[in-house]
Amino acid sequence: MSVAVATLEHHLRAARADGRRLLIPYVMAGVVPDWLDLVRGAAEAGADAIEIGLPFSDPMLDGPTVQQAAALATGRGARPRPLLDSLAGLDVGVPLVVMTYANVAMTLTPERGVGGFVDYLAAVGVRGVIVPDLPLEESAEYLARASEAEVAAVLLAAPSCDDERCREIAQASSGFVYCMSSMRITGERADLATTARETARRLKGMTDLPVVTGFGISTVAHAVEACADADGVVVGSAFMRMLVDGAPVAEVVDAVAAFRRALSSAGG
């Protein structure tokens, strides 16, 4: 196993082995001038890894809140390459996982395509990557290069996937398996989707990788409920909405800490 994949996967496995329920906050890069302070603060507040989104004009899986966050970032002049460069040398004590779309991945280094993108991530110290719109059938080069570059390629499994498809995704993924709670775009919900726990249970029966549920984890109650079956949760829109509405970074860090306390009180 490569060093960086071990850094992400072993980090999460070790936390799980200690009975900890995993918490992965999402931060849109560049959403506010002090967004890196949010990355640092989230790690200090108890995040087990941090997912960093790159702003993109056509985010097919992201709902209104993350789209607004991306628009704020691009309106401030944020662009993928400088945003990634700002991560170089940033050591917050937990792995950083970049989420973006295939268009960005293939054009950031146009002469080398997705392979060059993965190399770029490795060079700035990123330990994992999520490219949700790159189909498994077209990802052989991407997965091979990610392994060579020592970056964990995290794949998503949706409730619509049958058992065979879930098994293929789980086997190809590294770092963790991202369990979509429902067949909907990201965004806050009043209730946790009924498919969230069922999908996590199916994946847990197919892999020993950490299984982390995201999409619509809007409250601490949702997070605790999801972790009855999953190993952890990704929380994005709930935190990004606070920033979009003008909350200071310190307030969002407090919200991350509240999720951590709730998951810890629930037994992790």
Which residues are known to be catalytic?
51, 62
Cα–Cα distances in angstroms (integers) from residue 125 to residues 3, 54, 122, 212, in the given order = 12, 16, 5, 22
Among 71, 75, 87, CA closest to 35: 87
Query: From CA 98, how far away is CA 52, in angstroms rounded?
Result: 5
What are the backbone angles phi and psi of residue 8, rounded to the nearest 5°? Answer: -75, -55
Tokens at 130, concatenated: 């999520």
Q: Residues 83, 35, 213, CA angle at the centre, nearest 5°? A: 90
Q: How many CA atoms lie within 13 A of 206 on its CB side?
A: 23
SS3 of 151, please?
Answer: coil
Identify whether the C-beta of residue 151 lies closer than 8 Å to the C-beta of residue 121.
yes
Residue with tokens 């999409």: 215
Tokens at 177, concatenated: 């398996």
